[in-house]
Amino acid sequence: MELRRRHSSGATATATATSYYGRSRILASDALPLPIRHTNRLFSALFVASLVFLMRRWRQKIRSSSPLHILAFSEILAIFGLMASLIYLFSFFGITFIQSIISSHEEEDEEEVDFASERKPSSCALVEKPKLVTETLPESDAEIVELVVSGRIPSYSLESRLGDCDRAVRIRHEALRRMTGRGLEGLPVSGFDYSSILGQCCEMPIGYVQLPVGVAGPLNLDGREYYVPMATTEGCLVASTNRGCKAIAESGGAHSVVLRDGMSRAPVVRFPSARRAAELKAYAENSANFETISLMFDRSSRFARLQGVQCSMAGRNLYMRFTCSTGDAMGMNMVSKGVQNVLDFLQADFPDMEIISISGNFCSDKKPAAVNWIEGRGKSVVCEATIKGEVIKRVLKTTVPALVELNTIKNLAGSAVAGALGGFNAHASNIVSAVFIATGQDPAQNVESSHCITMMEAVNDSEDLHVSVTMPSIEVGTVGGGTQLASQSACLDLLGLKGPNPESPGSNSRLLASIVAGAVLAGELSLMSALAAGQLVKSHMKYNRSSRDIAGAAQ
Ligand code: ADP
């Protein structure tokens, strides 16, 4: 009802109901099947008519001093109608109301349990978490390997059939070795908790890849010190970032500011005509409708809070970019659930809306896109420091003017020549990827998380250097995804950012974004200095080519 009124006026949002349950009840009644809605209206009308009739009759009787208990046939009928409609309306709305309270309590309870146990991420939509049921199988691993190799047991079902994740991985590893004839000796199997990834992080595991984790720091950021874990196989990277951290620390530290914090998801829907698509665009962007849309959206999680909807059109296709805060989660699951709620809600009033995809690429996830560079995605952070001229000479082995000139010619002009999109920096992606992998972030989001413009200016009578990195789309979380795995969570713990922040949800993930930006600042300073001093090739030859490699290459 509310939604239809809103359409005709184009403006009024659901404003009458005040309580959460009241609102959801009104909105939910719109979704009821037509015959039930007609019956509801009939009984409501009967209730009102009977009540009005009886009130009038009793008023007349009181005025004419007639006894109230002597009832005419019409009054008996009205009382009967009143009772019947009361019983119907109570059984319909009262029971649904109580159910809604019970179910919402259940949802809350679920969240509480999750919160307390640092909930593991929800499973991938395509993969149901296999139930660990032991079936009658041959006793020996060798016989099961045989069954997998011959195709009589699907490899993916090993975990559920055996009820033992470690054994499943050993058997799959061996079966693959036999099927391919490849040794796989360097791919370790034991020493990893495979139950921690089951149905959540990786399917059909055959082992794990080892990556060294180095540490850069202390990074002096906003008055605190952090030791930054970096998982990488690129020699020089950690050493270089460490040198940048030293220069920052000896100059009084860096400072960061988080400008924005919101994850986005943009579904694409299609209409029979561009005019209809434009109607939904107008509706979605009308601030008067924000309350209704956010009410639907925010039901996805107690941490999801809709911030806005930005629409764009291509012909009769409409792309709606929903942005929301997601607490300490990176938030892709959360925002997707919220978007689905809104689409389900809108479908009732826009029956000609065809949902093409929950993601229409205007989000834009894991692809270089101007929308993230301009509007931001995840956390938008600026991190700055003033590096003393003396430190630049002593630690970074270069000068302020050399750095300023190089930054202009390389990071600004050079990137413009290359037609860069968010790539106005020397190597932000190096640091972002290494910290992402160490702390269990999604490494594919390095694409937009590495968007960065590095600025360098001479200050204090050209004595010192003001350096900053502006990164509009750092996508990080301290819960969900790979963050709960043992090694990754140890790295988060090193930063004091393991899991959710119970007092202030979202502050852990925002601080992690600031640390990423701070480490990028250090990395930019150091690499730019190496380039300005012409040291890059020399240091890479030292750290990237070990004597063992050189000896091997010579053979
Ligand atoms: P993502 O949305 O990043 O993919 P998930 O949805 O997999 O992350 O994980 C987030 C889960 O963690 C949600 O179920 C949420 O209820 C729970 N959670 C617990 N504490 C927090 C918090 N402080 N911030 C965000 N989510 C939290």
Position 260 pLDDT exceeds 80: yes
Position 464 pLDDT exceeds 50: yes
Q: What is the spatial distance between Cα 379 and Cα 263, in angstroms, rounded to a whole number?
A: 8
Position 263 pLDDT exceeds 70: yes
433: left (phi over 0), alpha (psi -120 to 50) or beta: alpha
Q: What is the spatial distance between Cα 194 and Cα 196, in angstroms, rounded to a whole number?
A: 5
Q: What is the spatial distance between Cα 219 and Cα 537, in angstroms, rounded to a whole number?
A: 26
What are the structure tokens assigned to 285, written together?
């962007």
Q: What is the spatial distance between Cα 360 and Cα 343, in angstroms, rounded to a whole number?
A: 13
Residue nearest to atom 4 of ligand 1 (CA): 333
Amino acid found at 378: G
Query: Which one of 28-42, 54-68, 105-119, 165-179 scores highest in mean pLDDT?
Result: 165-179
Torsion 156-161-164-170 (CA) sign? negative
Identify the burial level of 104 via C-beta atoms within 10 angstroms of its C-beta, where 0-12 means exposed, 13-18 middle and 19 or more buried: middle
Residue nearest to atom 7 of ligand 1 (CA): 121
Position 4 pLDDT exceeds 60: no
User: Residue holding tokens 């059984």?
Assistant: 91
Q: Could you give the count of Cα atoms lying within 13 Å of 29 in the half-sphere of its Cβ?
A: 18
> pLDDT category, 113, cuts 50, 70, 90?
very low
Active-site residues: which are they? 234, 366, 442, 540
Radius of gyration of the chain, Cα coordinates, nearest whole angstrom: 31
Kind of pairing, strands 317-325 and 268-270? antiparallel
Q: What is the spatial distance between Cα 243 and Cα 235, in angstroms, rounded to a whole number?
A: 14
**For residue 249, which of 269, 265, 226 has the smallest C-alpha distance?**
226
Q: How many residues are there in the chain?
A: 555
The reported pLDDT for the residue numbered 11 is 33
Lowest-pLDDT choice from 94-108, 209-223, 240-254, 306-320: 94-108
Assess whether the C-beta atom of 359 lies below 6 angstroms from ligand 1: no
Assess whether the C-beta atom of 482 lies below 6 angstroms from ligand 1: no
What are the structure tokens assigned to 479, written together?
């819960």
How many whole angstroms from 199 Cα to the centroid of ligand 1? 16
Position 9 pLDDT exceeds 70: no
**For residue 472, which of 507, 437, 432, 416 has the smallest C-alpha distance?**
432
Assess whether the C-beta atom of 118 lies below 6 angstroms from ligand 1: no
Residue nearest to atom 6 of ligand 1 (CA): 333
Cβ(448)–Cβ(369) below 8 Å = yes
Ligand 1 atom closest to the CA of 119, numbered from 1: 12
Assess whether the C-beta atom of 424 lies below 6 angstroms from ligand 1: no
The reported pLDDT for the residue numbered 128 is 52
> pLDDT category, 23, cuts 50, 70, 90?
very low
Cβ(156)–Cβ(203) below 8 Å = yes
Residue nearest to atom 5 of ligand 1 (CA): 480
Lowest-pLDDT choice from 50-59, 360-369, 459-468: 50-59
Q: What percent of the chain has pLDDT over 70?
A: 81
Q: What is the spatial distance between Cα 454 and Cα 415, in angstroms, rounded to a whole number?
A: 11
Assess whether the C-beta atom of 330 lies below 6 angstroms from ligand 1: yes
DSSP string covering 394-440: HTTSS-HHHHHHHIIIIIIIIHHHTT-SSEESSSHHHHHHHHHHHTT
Amino acid found at 134: T
Position 114 pLDDT exceeds 80: no
Which of the 8 DSSP states describes residue 299? G
Assess whether the C-beta atom of 304 lies below 6 angstroms from ligand 1: no
3-state secondary structure of 382: strand
Cβ(226)–Cβ(515) below 8 Å = yes
3-state secondary structure of 129: coil
E strands, 194-254, are 213-221, 224-231
Q: What is the 3-state secondary structure (H, E, C) of 448-507?
A: HHCCEEEEEEEECCCCEEEEEEEEEEECCCCECHHHHCHHHHHHHHHCCCCCCCCCCCCH
> pLDDT category, 303, cuts 50, 70, 90?
very high
